[in-house]
Structure 1
């Protein structure tokens, strides 16, 4: 099945019919239904399976640090591949048909029981080539409890229709972090813009991967840089210093 899928995608990227919903304009946050097909989520999990290593964090400019009290997930950087290439093209078409050269390598992340990524930014001050935007897509969390993508600083109101995508009930994630939490629904994704127009970081995109209480969660990190992305540069997420 996967061999034929690779062949098909190499010939032509399929049209993925997704729906977008603007959740916030400041910061810009867009929820995307069906960003990935079911077959794509299965394929990415298959591709990532032998590649997982401990997820790093960065503290200031110290890259590839490891601190399980901050981030306890596993990560897999995906290799060049026809399906990956089509998802990269979809991502940059979504953002105004920009060059795929601005993308970092796509990363699958795996969260088991109690795994989490405490509140952090995907940017930090002084990055020479900052991440202008993030897409976090959900690959699998069919039987899991917890694991929402939480934005603790969000204080706005939203219609009840959003409750199919957002934790509206008084649950552990909302009590622990506050703000708003997006449910990990397979194939769906959350897009947010990390920077203001002047290039400075937006404090409203402070976010966390909340602990998984049951099952496993798999997600896909997609980071877009201001300029072409380069291998080996400042690619890890930053953790806000407690003195900031």
Structure 2
């Protein structure tokens, strides 16, 4: 794996985010995590929620997992050619300074009461069989951008247990994190979970960026 590419992308995106006065650095052990309040406005959030609600299906995971309750949300990939989605994509690309072709399709996710996504990494585990295909489709996931589209009445926090962080959903708020360490190694401290919603509904969108062009 080309660690130098992950190092370069880590430095350039981190530098850009730190230079943005609207971006906050979230202090967590061993992670580079950033927050942008009100990144999307209510109309943008509402439009994405409507698209998720129309197309959602049970979520899947890459690796084989015998735990049927590991990821219980519903999700869908939003059509990047749709003008509304394209505009949101471009907004995230610009914030991070990433090329559009490095980004996977924006994925919408819906969590109803009791639904969750247990602790996982966004980066690909290279010992898993799926890696041989993903390495040809843009390689490793270097950065994650996740946006809360609404706020459940209770529950649904994003936990980063290794980093000692707990993030409460706020409508329009974006989180971004580097999936690699400053040395270009896959960062185990980015382990995170979407905790069960206990009242209400949570909708989010997530965009994963690859080290090369995604296809």
TM bucket (normalised to shorter chain) is 0.7 to 0.9
Per the alignment, residue 45 of structure 2 pairs with 41
- Which residues in structure 2 correspond to 1:65-214 (within 5 Å)? 67-79=67-79, 80-96=81-97, 98-126=98-126, 127=131, 128=135, 129-141=139-151, 143-154=152-163, 179-214=164-199
Per the alignment, residue 24 of structure 2 pairs with 21
Structure 2 residue runs without a partner (length 5+):
1-19
Q: CA deviation at 1:67?
A: 4.9
CA contact (8 A) 2:101 2:214 kept: yes
Q: CA deviation at 1:211?
A: 0.4
Aligned partner of residue 58 in structure 1, secondary structure: coil
Q: How many residues align?
A: 184
Return the TM-score normalized by structure 1: 0.70
Distance in 1 (CA, whole Å) between partners of 2:203 and 2:21 is: 20
Return the TM-score normalized by structure 2: 0.80
String of CA shifts for 1:82-125, please: whole Å, max 9, x gaps.
121122112121122x3100110001100011100000000123
Structure 1 residue runs without a partner (length 5+):
1-16, 155-178, 231-244
Q: CA deviation at 1:48?
A: 2.1
User: Which of 50, 55, 59 lines up with 1:51 in the alignment?
Assistant: 55
Misfit runs of 4+, over 3 Å: 65-68
CA contact (8 A) 1:18 1:34 kept: no
Q: Which has the larger radius of gyration?
A: 1
